Amino acid sequence: MVWGQMRIRRDVSYVTSADVAAVGAFLGSLHSATGTVRVRFYPEADSLLFHRWEKNGLRFSQPFFSGSGEADVYVVHTSRALPAWMRNRAQQDLRGAAAQPSGQVGLLQQRDGTEAWYYRLAPAAP
């Protein structure tokens, strides 16, 4: 099945309950001294899978205009279903974050050799 430029295959799910549990556990662990943690998802629509965690100081930040607004935490989902340009953008963002000494990138969940969820913590403000 093709939607937009996404190719949805039936042999590997785009998201599973284990993915939601792993990312949800990470979201549940986030806290901030200021009381609010801004979280941005890529692809943006994936944030709809995690709305029940958008409380207790979490605020999902999905700007209408690319690059506008900042977040404290980025959650990135790479998938074989995504068009190549989206996979490339996600990988560039993760590589760029890893190159920043104060930023942190980690793997949350990986399966089937093609599906992975990462987090990226934004560098602390000076």
Which tens digit of pLDDT belongs to each residue from 82-121? 888 888 888 777 766 555 555 678 899 999 888 999 998 8
Structural domains in the chain (count): 1
The pLDDT of residue 68 is above 80: no
Residue 126 located in a structural domain = no
The pLDDT of residue 16 is above 90: yes
For range 2-16, the mean pLDDT: 68
Residue 56 located in a structural domain = yes
Beta carbons within 8 Å of 47's beta carbon, 6+ residues apart: 39, 40, 41, 60, 62
pLDDT at 10: 66
Residue 7 located in a structural domain = yes
Which domain, by its residues, includes 92?
2-121
Is the peptide bond preceding residue 43 cis, with omega within 30 degrees of 0? Answer: yes
Nearest partner of 119 among 27, 57, 51, 20, judged by Cα: 27
Residue 94 located in a structural domain = yes
Is 0.95 surpassed by the pTM of this model? no
Beta carbons within 8 Å of 33's beta carbon, 6+ residues apart: none
Residue 116 located in a structural domain = yes
pLDDT at 105: 81
